[in-house]
Every structure is written in C-alpha cells, then in structure tokens.
Structure 1
Amino acid sequence: MARKKSLISNWQENYAGLILGAIIVIILGLLVANFITNRGKIGEGEQTEIGEETAKSTQYTVKEGDSLSKISEQNYGEQDAWPVLARINNIVNPNIIFVGSTLEIPSAQTLAEIKMQMTQTSYDVLEGDTLFIVAEKMYGDGSKWPVIAKANNVGRLPNGNPLIFAGSTLTIPR
C-alpha cells in the first residue's frame, strides 16, 4: 500500500511540474509574439523626438567637361573647395578625373571642418598618433610625414623610427 501511495504522489508531482512548465512556455510565447507584433509602434500618449539630421555627404557622377573646381562651384557656390573634394575622394592628380566615376560631395559643415584642418599650421599630438597619422590628417597623405619631421626636428628611436609624444605641438608646414 505504501508503494501505491508513493506512486500516486510521484505521478502527481510529475504532472504538476509538466503543467507548470507548459504554462510558463505559453506565457513566454505570448510575450514574444506581442513584442514582435508591436515592435516600432508608438503607443497612445507616447511621443518621439526626431533630432536634427546629421550632415550627410552626397554622391556625384562625373560628366564630360567636369573639373573639381566646376563641381565645387555647382555644389558650394565657390571654386575654392576643390582641394577638399580631391582629399575626400583620394584624388592624386586633381587635373585628372574620369567621366562616370562617382565622387563623394561632403556637406557644407564637413567641408568647413576639413578646410579648417587643411589650413591649420599646428597640430596637438594625441595618444597613439604617429607622424604618418598626423600627415594623413593634415595633408591627406601619410607619405608626407618626413616634411613634418624635418620642420619639427623630431628625434629618432634606436630603430630609426621618429619619436613624438602625446601632448606636444607640431608645426605643420604649408
């Protein structure tokens, strides 16, 4: 008889656990389904704020007779922005652009930032900077690092690499 009672209580415990587990699975399934169907919906009384759109660049396809100064004039109203276009698009010779190629045209805000950077005559060295990185930032060409090294009488490490320190100010020849 004792064996029969333990069998019945064991059976009841197993089914109680099974039913409880099934209820939990059903509730979780309903929550997931609700989340998926209502994702991205704005509830009653809720508001969202749309911030100012960040300055974005546009694309321009080069046409017959175009030059960087002409493209600059069309997009910014000034021809003087062509060096920025050359730098942004990694154009080595600004006199040669190919018909059909796509150029990135930065926003006016980005243009102003790059122009300021390109006319800057000093640079504050940041942690992790190398002369190559500084030359890339200031000239758009990392291979011009020896110009900066020479202008600043930069010392050298025993292995021959130039030595610069974070926090120091470098003169950038223009």
Structure 2
Amino acid sequence: MVTKYEVVAGDTLSKLAQTFYGDATLFPVIAVPNGITDPDEITVGQELLIPYITERHTVAPGETLSGLTQHFYGDRTLFPVLAAANHIADPNVIQVGRSLLIPELGDVGHHTVVAGETLSELARRWYGEAQLYPVISFPNHITDPDHVEVGRVLIRPGLNYRHTVVPGDTLRALAEGHYGNAEMFAMIAAANHIADPNRITVGQVLFFPNLTNF
C-alpha cells in the first residue's frame, strides 16, 4: 500500500523504484507526487510518499492461476481474483510470458456497506470497471454478489484504478479528473510506460497509481 519512506545515504529514486516496484524506470512515479523536479537531488532524511502500484508477475512455464494464488495468497481457491483482475475468461489457460496483475489482499483497507451499494458499483468506483467485482467477492467469501448486507464490513483489496482511453482523452485531463492535479500526468505516463505523454491511443488501458491508502 501507500507508504512513507525516509531517505538514507546512498539512496536514489531509481534505486527506490527498483526496491518498491521492481523497475528502476518507474522513478517518476515517486518523483512527481513528491514535487521532485531533479530526480538526482534527494536529501538524506527527506520523507517521501511512495505511491501504490499493483504488483505484476510474469507467467513462467508450468504455472497455473490456482498455483499462483496459492503462492501469493496461501489459498488456491482465490484464483477467480486473478482471473477477474486480468480479464482471463478461461482460468485454465494462461500464456507464458504474460504479465499478470496481483491484487493486494494482505495490507488492505476496509469499507462498510451502505444502503444501495452493490459489489459491481464498488468495483467500478474503486477499480474503474464493474466486472471486477470478483476481486471483492471472493476474498470476502460472498457467494451471491448481488446481495451484500448493509453494515457489512468488507476488506478492500488493493488494485489500481484503470481507465480505457476514449476519443478526446489526454493524460493531463485524466490526471486532473483523477487526482485533482493535471501535473500528475507524468506519474501516469511513467506507470504505464508511455514515452510521449501527448500520445495515447483510444482503447488503451491506463492504470493509476494510488496516492492514498484504501
């Protein structure tokens, strides 16, 4: 989840991006929300906000969704969580080399259900797509996703909000709409490996790093 980190001697933003995200090129994800204009200039003792980016896993030969859920969650019955998060129609078929999103089920937030809420509506609000409701239903052991009791406390798995680009979208406008700050466009660009932030494609799926905990 989102965390705070105090810079120590020898740290660089690239090293921190490698440590927290497994990818040194994601250093702008840390630089932008912390107002760092020169990524080579950070100070020992400086406190940095480390945005949350959903972990990814590259499928290796012989791996299965149930095996991966056992590895990441200690429960192979949670494979529908990975299937839903990655739009996998047949959980028995995953391609070697595919990059899978691994929702966070350990360090999670909580939500108390209010009247009128549905899992589909919560999935749309939290993750950007209503069909991602299994990411919520399975960890909460909800067998009927159409019925959730008012007052029930749900765990809220960690998964970055996603948006499918439509005509007229720009990274600046999306950053303004999602974060209330158009300058966060550079963070979105970095997180999605977009080399030219002025060029995004209709139909492209963008993921938004979390700046606050769930």
> TM-score if structure 2 supplies the norm length?
0.32
Larger Rg belongs to: 1
Question: Greater strand percent: which structure?
Answer: 2
Q: Which one has more relative contact order, counting CA pairs under 8 Å at least 6 apart?
A: 2
> TM-score if structure 1 supplies the norm length?
0.38
